[in-house]
C-alpha cells in the first residue's frame, strides 16, 4: 500500500480530462497536477523542446513525492515517454499504451486518430497500434488548432465548429466509427464531433482508458491508497485567464489554482 499522490502533467487544461477520470475512478487517491501553461502548446514545438518540458514537469512531481506519473498529454507521450522511462526509476504511464490495449481488447480493425501535429508526425499512435494489432487500418488526422481553441475557451464557438467540420472530413468520407481522441484537450469537443459526423461513433477518451489501466496497475503492484483522499492540488507554470472557467466545465467542481 502507498498513500503518496499520483502525479499528472499536461501542457495546459486538457489533461484535466484525464485528472477527472482518475479522481472519479480512484476516489481514494491523492492527485497532484501540473498544467505547463508557460510552454503551451506542445503540439508545435520541436521534439527536443517537448522532452525538456517533460523532464522539468517530471522532476517537479518527483520533488513533491509522487508515487507514479501520468503523462496526460499526447504530444509528450509520443515524443518523451521513452526518454523519461530511461532517465527515472519512478513508474511513468502515458496515454498511448493503455488506449492501444483497449483497442486491441475490443478487436477493432479500423480506427481514426486525431491528435496534435507533432504527435501525428511522430507516428507514435499508428506505430503502437500496428505493433499490437495485426492488419489494423489507421486513419490519422492532425488537428493543430483544437488545443489552442480549447485553452481559449472557444471550443463551442462558430470558429470551433467550422474547424471540426474540416478535421472530420476524412472520417466522414470513410465512415470511420471508432476515433481515438489522441490529445487530452479533445474530449471537450465530443458533442460537436458527434454532431458533425451525424452517425453513431465511439470517441475513445484516453482519460478513461488511462484511469482503468492505472487502477489495475496500482492493484497489481499493491500501491493503492488505503486512506481517504486528503490531497488534490493543481499547479500552473503561468497564470492563464480562462483556465479556472474551463477547468470547472471539465471537472464540474470549483478548483483552487496554485502557481509554481
Fold (CATH) for 96-206: Rossmann fold (3.40.50)
pLDDT tens per residue, range 208-247: 999 999 999 999 999 999 899 999 999 999 999 889 999 9
Q: Residue 214 and residue 208: Cα distance in Å, rounded?
A: 10
- Tell me phi and psi for residue 93, to 5 degrees: -125, 130
Spot the catalytic one: 183, 197, 204, 247. Answer: 183
Longest dimension (CA), the chain: 50
Q: How far, in whole angstroms, is CA 184 from its chain's centroid?
A: 3
Q: Residue 19 and residue 210: Cα distance in Å, rounded?
A: 10
Mean pLDDT of the chain: 96
pLDDT tens per residue, range 151-208: 999 999 999 999 999 999 999 999 999 999 999 999 999 999 999 999 999 999 999 9
- 76: which DSSP letter? H
Please, are residues 203 and 193 in contact by the beta-carbon 8 Å criterion?
yes
Given pLDDT bands bounded at 50, 70 and 90, which one contains residue 105? very high
The second-level CATH assignment, the architecture, of 6-94+208-259 is 3-Layer(aba) Sandwich (3.40)
Position 140 scores a pLDDT of 97
Position 241 scores a pLDDT of 85
- Please say if 143 is a catalytic residue: no
Q: Residue 199 and residue 204: Cα distance in Å, rounded?
A: 15
Return residue ranges of the chain for CATH 3.40.50.1860: 6-94+208-259, 96-206
- Please say if 183 is a catalytic residue: yes
All cell numbers assigned to 1: 500500500
**Order of all β-strands in the sheet with 31-35:** 92-93, 68-71, 6-10, 31-35, 232-236, 257-259
Establish how many alpha carbons lie within 13 A of residue 208's alpha carbon, considering only the half-sphere containing its beta carbon: 10
Q: Residue 189 and residue 186: Cα distance in Å, rounded?
A: 5
Nearest Cα neighbor of 148 from 46, 43, 33 is: 43
Q: Residue 69 and residue 32: Cα distance in Å, rounded?
A: 10
Query: DSSP letters of 126-144?
Result: HHHHHHHSTT-EEEEEE-T
Could you tell me the sign of the dihedral formed by the alpha carbons of 99, 101, 105, 111, in that order?
positive
Q: 90: left (phi > 0), else alpha (psi -120 to 50), else beta?
A: beta
All cell numbers assigned to 53: 518540458
CA angle centred on 225, ends 220 and 227, rounded to 5°: 145
DSSP strand E in the chain: where?
6-10, 31-35, 68-71, 92-93, 110-115, 137-142, 178-181, 202-205, 232-236, 257-259
Taking residues 31-48, what's their average pLDDT? 96
Residue with cell 496554485: 258
Is this prediction's pTM over 0.85? yes
pLDDT tens per residue, range 53-102: 999 999 999 999 999 999 999 999 999 999 999 999 999 999 999 999 99
Contacts (Cβ under 8 Å, ≥6 apart) of 224? 1, 2, 26, 28, 29, 218
Position 147 scores a pLDDT of 95
Spot the catalytic one: 73, 81, 113, 197. Answer: 73
Please, are residues 143 and 175 in contact by the beta-carbon 8 Å criterion?
no
Position 18 scores a pLDDT of 97
Amino acid at each position: 500500500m502507498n498513500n503518496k499522490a499520483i502525479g499528472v502533467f499536461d501542457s495546459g487544461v486538457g489533461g484535466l480530462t484525464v485528472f477527472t477520470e482518475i479522481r472519479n475512478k480512484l476516489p481514494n487517491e491523492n492527485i497532484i497536477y501540473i498544467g505547463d501553461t508557460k510552454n503551451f502548446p506542445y503540439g508545435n514545438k520541436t521534439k527536443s523542446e517537448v522532452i525538456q518540458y517533460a523532464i522539468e514537469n517530471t522532476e517537479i512531481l518527483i520533488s513533491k513525492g509522487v508515487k507514479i506519473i501520468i503523462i496526460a498529454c499526447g504530444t509528450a507521450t509520443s515524443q518523451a515517454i521513452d526518454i523519461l522511462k530511461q532517465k527515472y526509476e519512478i513508474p511513468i504511464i502515458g496515454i498511448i499504451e493503455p488506449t492501444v490495449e483497449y483497442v486491441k481488447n475490443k478487436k477493432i480493425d479500423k480506427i481514426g486518430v486525431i491528435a496534435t501535429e507533432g504527435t501525428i508526425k511522430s507516428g507514435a499512435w499508428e506505430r503502437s497500434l500496428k505493433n499490437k494489432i495485426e492488419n489494423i487500418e489507421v486513419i490519422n488526422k492532425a488537428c493543430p488548432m483544437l488545443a489552442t481553441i480549447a485553452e481559449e475557451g472557444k471550443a463551442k464557438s462558430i470558429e470551433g465548429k467550422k474547424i471540426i467540420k474540416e478535421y472530420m472530413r476524412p472520417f466522414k468520407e470513410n465512415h470511420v466509427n471508432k476515433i481515438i481522441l489522441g490529445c487530452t484537450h479533445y474530449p471537450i469537443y465530443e458533442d460537436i464531433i458527434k454532431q458533425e459526423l451525424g452517425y453513431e461513433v465511439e470517441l475513445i477518451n484516453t482519460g478513461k482508458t488511462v484511469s482503468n489501466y492505472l487502477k489495475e496497475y496500482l492493484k497489481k503492484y499493491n500501491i493503492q491508497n488505503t486512506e481517504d483522499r486528503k490531497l488534490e492540488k493543481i499547479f500552473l507554470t503561468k497564470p492563464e485567464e480562462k483556465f479556472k472557467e474551463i477547468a470547472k466545465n471539465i471537472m464540474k467542481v470549483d478548483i483552487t489554482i496554485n502557481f509554481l
